[in-house]
Amino acid sequence: MPLGISKNCRNIAPSATLAMDARAKAMRAAGVDVIGFAAGEPDFDTPVVVREAMKDAMDRGMTRYTPVAGTLEVRQAIAYRLKEDYGLDYELNQIIVSCGAKHTLYTAFQTLCNEHDEVIIPTPCWVSYPEMVRMAGGVSVFVECKEEDGFLPSIEAIEKCITPRTKAFVLTNPSNPNGNIWDEERLRALVQLAVEREFYIISDEIYEKLVYGGKKHISLPTLSPEAWTHTVLVGGVSKSYAMTGLRIGFAAGPADVIAAMTNYQSQSTSAPNSAAQHAAAVAYTMDQSCVEEMRQQFEKRKNYICQRINAIPGLSCRNPDGAFYVMMNVKQMIGKRYGETVINNSSDFALLLLENAHVALVPGNAFMAEGYCRLSYACSLENIEKGMDRLEAFVKELK
């Protein structure tokens, strides 16, 4: 047998968001003053109470293996938060923590998908879902959503994608990359489809705390008992508590799904970092005012960045309702030139911008949204201002 990488792994596309972020960070390390709108990572310091909890965990000897699904402490804290925030009831055997919500999602797809099972994903979508589905042997079925519809799929369009092989629907609410949120009527219609046609909804609500314009987040399993039984709810501490590096995410759902995920996890990673589990438990139970403070900062940044984008001739964006991303329409840039180089697509635009104006963003093709670029405004207002000045000057130079 010749040496070499498996077919499965050879085909994995590396995460474009992380790749773009790494590129920006490498340029910065080489002394280039890059403004980074690429990574979806809050720039805020992790709250002091959480940092203290992490240190305390070490001193208290929380350095051992924990139960595979997570400590009682962290699962109790998650159950408490879900009850407090949404009135949701989850028993401890209906919750599992993993190494970030990314790992939770990976395990969920591995657990739910048989070979050739179909998973419906509205696009633009977060980079990792299609690859995760493929790694689980499943097949992604995409529902294309248009900017003029607020990037939301119609229920009829979703219905057309359902086949006897449909195993799950991926709901990202609020959404990465387009920052929209789903209205209650659409959510209810989706649940009705899931119940009638029997599929799970993997409800990725990692941006639940970041909703703007006075709107409220609707957690899918709150809608009805059927919504609860058909939902695998995914969340985590990365975005709400600025804890991306501590790697704690969770799933809450029917006990049989969580048990299967736990078995899978027991043979793959075991439980996540024990001290980080303690820090996450503290985050979920501490005074939550810092979460609201960060949300307010994000809302200010969102309003500013949208106003700046829409003031640049040829660029535009819709004002998002949640998360910390904005999809910038760059369709009028296609066909223009920077010096001798023609811009053929959103990747060309992003690369030229990075190399010449030192602004990093992620081209839309990473999210199956050619003609757009995603900007994360999880950076200071000062940097947003600087980055927008550079973007504006760059666009002026295009012929």
Q: Which residues bind ligand GLU (CB under 6 A)?
A: 15, 17-18, 39-40, 102, 126-128, 176
Residue 236 as a binder of ligand PMP (CB under 6 A): the answer is yes
Q: How far is the CB of 210 from ligand GLU (least distance, A)?
A: 13
Helix then strand count (H, E) for the chain reads 14, 15
- From ligand PMP, ligand GLU, none, which one binds at residue 187 (CB under 5 to 8 Å depending on kind)? none
Which residue has tokens 């709400």? 240
Q: How many CB atoms lie within 10 A of CB 266?
A: 13
The C-alpha atoms of residue 175 and residue 213 are separated, in whole angstroms, by 15
Q: How far is the CB of 244 from ligand GLU (least distance, A)?
A: 7
Can you tell me whether residue 226 is helix, strand or coil? helix
- Choose one: 47-55, 94-102, 162-170, 179-187; the region binding ligand PMP (CB under 6 A): 94-102
Q: How many CB atoms lie within 10 A of CB 164?
A: 7
Q: How far is the CB of 2 from ligand PMP (least distance, A)?
A: 35
Chain centroid to Cα 133, Å, comes to 15
Which residue has tokens 């004002």? 319
The C-alpha atoms of residue 318 and residue 313 are separated, in whole angstroms, by 15
Residue with Cβ nearer ligand GLU (79 or 206): 206
Q: How far is the CB of 40 from ligand GLU (least distance, A)?
A: 3
Residue 249 as a binder of ligand PMP (CB under 6 A): the answer is yes
Residue with Cβ nearer ligand GLU (79 or 136): 136
Do residues 134 and 11 touch, judged by C-beta distance below 8 A? yes
- From ligand GLU, ligand PMP, none, which one binds at residue 101 (CB under 5 to 8 Å depending on kind)? ligand PMP
Residue 329 as a binder of ligand PMP (CB under 6 A): the answer is no
Residue 172 as a binder of ligand PMP (CB under 6 A): the answer is yes
Chain centroid to Cα 112, Å, comes to 20
Residue with Cβ nearer ligand PMP (53 or 202): 202
Q: Angle at which helices 274-285 and 72-86 pack, to 10 degrees?
A: 30
Span 253-292, contacts to ligand PMP by CB under 6 A:
none
- The residues, ordered by sequence, that sit 6+ positions from 160 with a Cβ below 8 Å of its Cβ are none
- From ligand GLU, ligand PMP, none, which one binds at residue 15 (CB under 5 to 8 Å depending on kind)? ligand GLU
DSSP state of 247: -
Compute the chain's Rg from CA coordinates: 21
The C-alpha atoms of residue 381 and residue 397 are separated, in whole angstroms, by 24
- From ligand PMP, ligand GLU, none, which one binds at residue 371 (CB under 5 to 8 Å depending on kind)? none
Residue 363 as a binder of ligand PMP (CB under 6 A): the answer is no
Select from 37, 90, 109, 126 the one that contacts ligand PMP (CB under 6 A).
126
Residue 167 as a binder of ligand PMP (CB under 6 A): the answer is no
Q: Give CA angle at 310 (363, 372), nearest 5°.
A: 20
- From ligand PMP, ligand GLU, none, which one binds at residue 127 (CB under 5 to 8 Å depending on kind)? ligand GLU
Residue with Cβ nearer ligand GLU (158 or 170): 170
The C-alpha atoms of residue 180 and residue 322 are separated, in whole angstroms, by 6
> Which structure tokens are listed for 373?
């670029």
Q: How far is the CB of 153 from ligand PMP (least distance, A)?
A: 16
Binding region for ligand PMP (CB under 6 A): 40, 100-102, 126, 172, 176, 204, 206, 236, 238, 244, 249
